[in-house]
Amino acid sequence: MFFIVSMNNHHIELRHLRLLQAVAETGGLTAAAERLHLTQSAVSHQLKALEEALGLPLVERAVRPLQLSAAGRRLLALAHAALPLADAALRDLAKLKDGDAGELRIAVECHTCYDWLMPAMDRYRDVWPGVELDLLGGFQADPVGLLLDGRADLVITSEAAPRPGIFHAPLFGFEMLALLPPAHPLAARKWLAAGDFAGHTLITYPVPEDRLDLIRRVLAPAGIKPPRREAQLTVAILQLVASRRGLAALPAWAVAPYLERGYVAARGIGKHGLWAELYAAVRAADATRAYVADFIETVKRDSFARLPGIRPALSAA
């Protein structure tokens, strides 16, 4: 889709602007490719072709993290101005085609998701005022099953196991961090192994063990079963950790403000970190509805703009 005719009859397309925006926000071609769900070679080729067409370098390749050149920054300013207008126009066209009203009953699997989901919902309401949003509260043993039963229209879930009639849209990947008191002996480690949790109380939300990544993917395979203490609120979990009542594991985005204040310490789990992913699950028949698809894109866009330490999730279906 061409956006504007540039010098020498070459074109700057919306995809070019999205590419420069992704490079500026991620600081690298690999991360930008992941953000755009492209290969790094495709991104490099696209960027090089645009630079050759314009006759100007758009990035400073000798600088790490990657930075835009003066020409790149000028196009980035265009991207900031033009992409919201283009997205709004495409949204209006979708409304003309599919209608601008509907209902989204949203079930959320993770306790910490509300921190970033609520601002995204506010932004969505601004552009889809005719869509009624409703959050389903309480723990759900089978949240995706709510879609099949007709009790929910969208589920935020960490599982993307194939199920007939269900479409999983990837949102983002995030790191789970081990939390401990700042002066705890384990704080001297670069990262914690499964054995480091032995002999410590594990403070968690009140959910089954098979829904906790730390237990299911790290501790249980190692045969480690620490005692658990449950708390409903994130701040309560952090207070218990700070008071030396045990250790915890929470998403990096949920604890960033407390780490900045030195309230607790955080370490990675395992040599390569413990990463999880979130998906938006919807009925396959609803996946192409304009207001459903735009809600998912709004959540992704808002999350990457606001949440620290997230990365693109793997594709699902």
What parts of the chain have a pLDDT lower than 50? 1-2, 5
Residues with Cβ within 8 Å of 11's Cβ and at least 6 positions away in sequence, in order, are: 2, 3, 4, 5
Task: Work out whether strand 310-311 and strand 166-180 pair parallel, antiparallel, or are unpaired.
Answer: antiparallel
Q: What distance lies between CA 217 and its chain's CA centroid?
A: 20
pLDDT at 91: 79
Query: CA end-to-end span of the chain, whole Å?
Result: 26
Rounded to two decimals, the pTM is: 0.78
Residue pair 172/300 in contact by the 8 Å Cβ criterion? yes
pLDDT at 8: 54
Burial class (CB in 10 A: 0-12, 13-18, 19+), 75: buried
pLDDT at 9: 53
Distance CA 117, CA 105 (A): 13
Residue pair 50/17 in contact by the 8 Å Cβ criterion? no
H/E run at residue 111 = none
DSSP 287: T
pLDDT at 2: 46
